[in-house]
Amino acid sequence: MALPARSADDGVPSPSAAVRGKPGEAGPAWPHQLSHEPLLRVSDVLALVQPEFPTLTPSKLRFLDSHGLVSPVRTSSGYRQYSPADVERVRFVLRQQRDHFRPLAVIADRLAALDAGTMHEVVTPRAADDATPAYLDRAQVAEAAGAEPQLVDACVEAGLLGEETTAGFESERVEAVVAARAYVEAGGDVRTLRALTRAADREGELARSIAAPRRARGDADGADAAATAMAEAAVAFFASCVRRAARG
């Protein structure tokens, strides 16, 4: 994995632990073949992961830490520092959510199996400069999502991808097409996703309103964390309701 250049005035002391596991466990956590030396700051992690996951934020990283999915080292000053192995765990969690819509509890179980060696996942090296354009046209969205162009057109007509500018769509909208593709392949219809989109928009507005008081006080990190926690809770509750209804 190519690491971003670091300046001499980063101002974050490096902890001494070179190889570490999860708290209370012997040996390093998955992925075992990558370095577990905590050399990366939050900004470094964002630079490495955001090309694939543009919506990743510092608050999302804190959320993953608080749920024990990724456990960076804390310096004596309280800063989080990540290893290359931690970065791959972040990618794994985000892929599980984006591509398979798995809840956090299931992702935690899968990580535990990877840690124990009872499940295996191929780790592919990535370069830090494999940047994704900020905007994509319809053909590029279809290619990135592995979907037919007709599906992208249907999503646009149904109003599922937001505003199409002269530059195209924001690259983060690829995630919506991936989800729409899975829904259609499972037997659903793009038109029925309109109601789900409206419900999601309402939950997003609620999450922003909950975070607004903190943002007004200048606590941007706290506001992001509050909005992320509310959004994740809404997703988990909705998923639980759908599964229960599907069981009949």
pLDDT at 19 over 80: no
Query: Higher model confidence: residue 33 or residue 202?
Result: 202
Res 216: pLDDT: 92
Residue 6 pLDDT class (50, 70, 90 cuts): very low
- The residue-averaged pLDDT of 35-40 equals 90
Q: Are 36 and 85 in contact (CB under 8 A)?
A: yes
pLDDT at 32 over 70: yes
Q: What is the pTM of this model?
A: 0.50
Closest alpha carbon to 141 in 120, 167, 117? 167
pLDDT at 1 over 50: no
Q: Give 165-218 pLDDT, tens digit per residue.
A: 888 888 878 888 888 888 898 899 998 998 888 888 899 999 999 999 999 999
Question: Checking phi first, is residue 5 left (phi over 0); if not, alpha (psi -120 to 50) or beta?
Answer: beta
Q: Give 116-142 pLDDT, tens digit per residue.
A: 989 888 776 554 444 557 788 999 888
